[in-house]
Amino acid sequence: MSTSRPAAARSWTAWDRLITTAGRIPLHAVVLAVTALWLTPALGLIVSAFRPSRLVTISGWWNAAMPPFALTLENFHQVLTTYNLGRSFLNSLAITVPATVIPVLLGAYAAYAFAWMRFPGRDALFALVVGALVIPLQMTLIPVLRLFASAGLVGTFPAAWLAHTAYGLPLAIYLLRNFIGSLPRDLLESAHLDGAGPLTVFFRLILPLSIPAVASLAIFQFLWVWNDLLVALVFVGGTPSVAPLTVTVSNLVNSLGGNWQLLTAAALVSMLLPLAVFVALQQYFVRGILAGAVKG
């Protein structure tokens, strides 16, 4: 068996190589076709956002590559002013920034306590926090809405901050505890011996060392809140002065119907910031995903 093997193996690998070489054409064809399928719908959105309305309704966007070459910025001008997208952009920002900062920092406090402080019931409490990941946010909507209504918070930014903080915390605590808990014990103990208090340890040592975990978590939360529709719809609503981009754009889908040049421009505006963040910080995002950053 062992004597005949090498020859057979060599002929097999040669045969395989031949097949693979011939087979590489279909391989490239499939990979490129799927990639093109993924890219084309987005390309249609980008192109249409720059085409004048008279052309969008009579010809497909792929005709933009043929004469008449007519591109315009008019669509963006219209959605930003007439359709309130400029204000919605700011609203999205005003909702997303605190709704990202609050849960990440509070999660880091809690993670620090869970990882490096001793107290009775610690493990059970941590299990409860992780267990909260299973609660779909639909379970909380009505009671929280009533709570906000009694506090006069419905239709305000703080309502979204509070809700998103709570929804983001289980994941934040889970991920950060795992990361902070894996920091070298010697380092923290020697800092302690040097007379550093918890504040110094946390802000000078733990937080800077946890930047990779904090960054991937922050990107997650940022994208999640920026792209969220349900929470915004329920707690913030569609009033122009507070409505974030997702709510405004989804309303435009109903009211603008077939005005594709405007709808695509509006959707493109809503995509710019998350895409920029995503492209710039993709490494952290991927690392977060691989560390189990999956939102329930």
Partner 1 sequence: MGAFALLLVAVVGVPAVQVGYVVLVEAMLGRLGPVPQRVLRPWLWLAPALLFLGAFLIYPAAGTIWLSVLGPRSDRFVGLENYLFALTNTDMRIAFRNNLLWLTAFTTVTVGLGLAMAVLADRVRYESVVKTVMFLPMAVSFVAAGVIWKFVYEFRPAGAPQIGLANALLVRVIPGFEPVAWLVHPVANNLALIMVAVWVWVGFCLVILSAALKAIPSEILEAARVDGASEWRLFWTVIVPMLGPTITVVATTMVIFSLKAFDIVYVMTNGNFNTEVIANRMYKEMFTFRDFGRAGAIAVILFAATIPVMAANIRWFRRQEALR
Q: Which residues in the 185-244 window bind partner 1 by CB under 8 A?
A: 197-199, 202, 223, 226-230, 233-234
Is residue 171 at the binding interface for partner 1, with CB under 8 A as the rule? Answer: no
Is residue 286 at the binding interface for partner 1, with CB under 8 A as the rule? Answer: yes
Instruction: Using alpha carbons only, give the angle 281, 215, 98 rounded to the nearest 5 degrees.
Output: 105
C-alpha 90/C-alpha 227 separation (Å) is: 14
ω before 52 within 30° of 0 (cis)? Answer: no
Q: Report which residue type is found at 90.
A: L
Cβ proximity to partner 1: between 57 and 190 the closer is 57
Helix or strand holding residue 136 (H, E) = none
How many helices, marked H, and strands, marked E, lie in the chain? 15, 0
Is residue 30 at the binding interface for partner 1, with CB under 8 A as the rule? Answer: yes
Cβ proximity to partner 1: between 204 and 292 the closer is 292
- Residue with the two structure tokens 């889970």: 174
Helix or strand holding residue 4 (H, E) = none
**Please, what's the b/e burial string for 130-149 (b: 16 or more CB within 10 A of its CB; e: otherwise)?**
eebeeeebeebbeebbeebe
Cβ proximity to partner 1: between 73 and 86 the closer is 86
Contacts with partner 1 in 117-156 (CB under 8 A)? Answer: 117-119, 122, 125, 129-136, 138-144, 147
- 3-state class (DSSP) for residue 222: helix
One residue of 79, 162, 188, 236 binding partner 1 per CB under 8 A:
162
Is residue 167 at the binding interface for partner 1, with CB under 8 A as the rule? Answer: yes
Per the structure block, which two tokens stand in for 165? 């903080």
One residue of 1, 7, 8, 66 binding partner 1 per CB under 8 A:
8
Is residue 110 at the binding interface for partner 1, with CB under 8 A as the rule? Answer: yes
Question: What is the contact mask toward partner 1 in residues 41 to 70, using x (rule: CB under 8 A)?
Answer: xx-xx--x-------xxxxxxx--------
Distance of CA 266 to the CA centre of its chain: 19
Is residue 39 at the binding interface for partner 1, with CB under 8 A as the rule? Answer: yes
Count of residues that bind partner 1 according to CB under 8 A: 116
Contacts with partner 1 in 86-105 (CB under 8 A)? Answer: 87, 90, 93-94, 97-98, 101-103, 105
